[in-house]
Amino acid sequence: KLPTMKMLLSLIALLSAALLADAAPPTCYSRMLSLSKEITESFKELQTSKAVDSCVEMLPRLYLDIHNYCVLAKLRDFVAYPRCERVLEVSELKEKARSLYTIMISYCRRDLVFLTDDCSALENPILPPIESS
């Protein structure tokens, strides 16, 4: 029974080491990128939700590109928008947007490179074509 237990523990240790070697720690950049995508997706879901308050229709559009300098103003405007405080989903989304803004201007400021300052691109994003299968 003891050799089987040692072999099982060795196997577990080997698999754990393989998993840890594969997982890279998140960087500032990857955190900003994933949070911006999460916020954009949550906003899309909020807009298509049937149980949403009418104030959601009036919210500033929220498409985020962390490589566009205008994203900072976009995040500030969204967080400061005075309506929809009573809608829990909007409050949660505003909190995520506030977090992203803080990360971008404080913690990850040196890791961020703005490639454009085209504010209209955040209002009317050019989405990649949908691939047909």
- Model confidence over 96-121: pLDDT tens digits? 999 999 999 988 888 778 888 888 88
pTM here?
0.71
- Written as six digits, the tokens of 131 are 């691939």
Of how many residues is the chain composed? 133
In this predicted structure, the answer to whether residue 133 has a pLDDT above a threshold of 50 is no
- Model confidence over 42-98: pLDDT tens digits? 998 888 876 566 778 888 888 888 889 999 999 999 999 888 878 888 899 999 999
Interatomic CA distance for residues 59 and 114, integer angstroms: 25
In this predicted structure, the answer to whether residue 132 has a pLDDT above a threshold of 50 is no
Interatomic CA distance for residues 34 and 49, integer angstroms: 22
Runs of H (alpha helix) within the chain: 2-22, 28-48, 71-80, 88-102, 120-123
φ/ψ region of 116 (left if φ > 0, alpha if ψ in -120 to 50, else beta) reads beta
Q: Are 68 and 118 in contact (CB under 8 A)?
A: yes
Q: State the DSSP string of 79-94.
A: HH--S-TT-HHHHHHH
